[in-house]
Structure 1
Amino acid sequence: MALKTIGAKAAAALDQELMSTGAFSIDQLMELAGLAVSQAGLSFRLKGSYENGLVVLKGGDGLVAARHLFHYGYRPTVFYPKRSKNELYQRLAKQLEDLDIPFVDDFPAAIESTDHVVDAIFGFSFSGEVREPFPAVIQALQETKLPITSVDAPSSWDIENGPPKTGLGSSFMPTALVSLTAPKPLVNHFTGRHFVGGRFVSPSIAKKYNFEVPPYQGVDQVVEIGSSEQKL
């Protein structure tokens, strides 16, 4: 099954559509996205012994994923250097604090004591230069041998054109990618395990934006797409 991709403008419009005609709240969309990411992360645990996860984030999807990973039996740690003043993000962070999930400031030390990293720093809306404190984080991500799951886009990648030609992020290739709602054009440059998480998208909205909702199985919120099936 070949899945069509949607570009940055269409992805932004799709998000707005989900919250208008689709009647989803931002809380719901973050919860569904984070749940999908956590299920993709769970697949590593089923095939290995990855118990100590490190969630690196800037936004809300990673906070939700960390909560679900905890309830699956992981021991997640969260690197969240720039906390948002948004009430929703503050509530999501409070939920993690109530579970005694540690927030860490020392990223180099944290990555040395983890088994699996969730890269939820930047999503499809990223553009421009990577700003502090994230250049050192992305440098560490592209140098580590740990499995990494990136959310929607490997951080530092351009949504349309993939990794930078040179410099920071140019050699960053995560182990897995979770495309939210639908794959973005950067998947044409991605060679790892590819999951799609968008089971909540209605057929009418998918038709309007000209992409397919893949066949999800059972209660799964993600479906894995083979590398030969992900571009069109």
Structure 2
Amino acid sequence: MELAGLSVAQAITKVYDNSKYSRVLICCGPGNNGGDGLVAARHLFHFGYKPNIFYPKQSKKELYERLVIQCQSLEIPIVTELSNSSLTNDNDLIVDALFGFSFTGEIRPPFDEVIQKLKVTNIPPIVSVDIPSGWDVEKGNVNNHGLKPSMLISLTAPKLCANYFNGKHFLGGRFIPPGLKEKYELNLPLYPGTDQVVDITDLPSEKL
């Protein structure tokens, strides 16, 4: 989770410079995807951004509580409510860390309302972590129920739904053991230098 969150933060720095996109709202869900968002918020702070965290349903697990404490120690604001005016007026960039690839079923309150707010056309650009919230992990944005981010940061390996995404696309998660790559026949691109992310926007899906 630490390396995944670092990957998210590093990918953001490559596209959204903090001179123009300093105010970043990280929307965190209750699971691992939200944990990645909490870690990303901390790294974005150290990279010179001004993160705010929207975390309406905080996990009671010790891991997530510790991640919250780390953000609080940096005085990163954490809120549980989100208004339409704050979305459009108080933020330059929004990070969607609500739901990851393992989420199934109907999106329940309060997140159904959150996703509807994030689908408003005049809000800042959205960066989704692993898969856009509301998307089917294989079929993509079925019935147009999900978000339409400007950038996607796939973690570990791109999910099938990434084939339906047309924006800026990064792969993060430089931590896969060689044995795991061989077992699942993962054909992953090389990471440049010491980066935790690689730009795969123009890489054909059959190359992954």
Flag whether TM exceeds 0.5 (same fold): yes
Alignment partners' CA distance in 2, 1:226 and 1:174? 14
Using the TM superposition, give the Cα deviation of residue 144 of structure 1 relative to its aligned residue in structure 2, in angstroms: 3.6
* Stretch deviating more after TM superposition (122-131 or 43-52): 43-52
CA contact (8 A) 2:171 2:198 kept: yes
1:141 aligns with 2:118: yes
CA deviation vs aligned residue, 1:24-61 (integer Å, no higher than 9, x gap): xxxxxx10110001111112333861000000011211
- Structure 1 residues 114, 48: closer, same or farther in 2, change over 3 A? same
TM-score by length of 2: 0.90
- Structure 1 residues 47, 102: closer, same or farther in 2, change over 3 A? closer
Question: Identity over aligned residues, as a percent?
Answer: 51
SS at match of 2:170: strand
1:110: which partner in 2?
Answer: 86
Using the TM superposition, give the Cα deviation of residue 203 of structure 1 relative to its aligned residue in structure 2, in angstroms: 2.1
Give the alignment partner of residue 190 of structure 2, picking from 200, 208, 215.
215
Alignment gaps of 5+ in structure 1 = 1-29
Superposed, which structure 2 residues align to 1:20-169 within 5 Å?
30-46=1-17, 49-58=20-29, 59-108=34-83, 109-112=85-88, 113-145=90-122, 146-166=124-144, 168-169=145-146
The list of structure 1 runs, each at least 4 consecutive aligned residues, that deviate by more than 6 angstroms after superposition, is: none
Using the TM superposition, give the Cα deviation of residue 137 of structure 1 relative to its aligned residue in structure 2, in angstroms: 1.4
Alignment gaps of 5+ in structure 2 = none
TM-score by length of 1: 0.81
Alignment partners' CA distance in 2, 1:47 and 1:194? 19
SS at match of 1:110: helix
Structure possessing the higher relative contact order (Cα contacts under 8 Å, 6 or more residues apart): 1
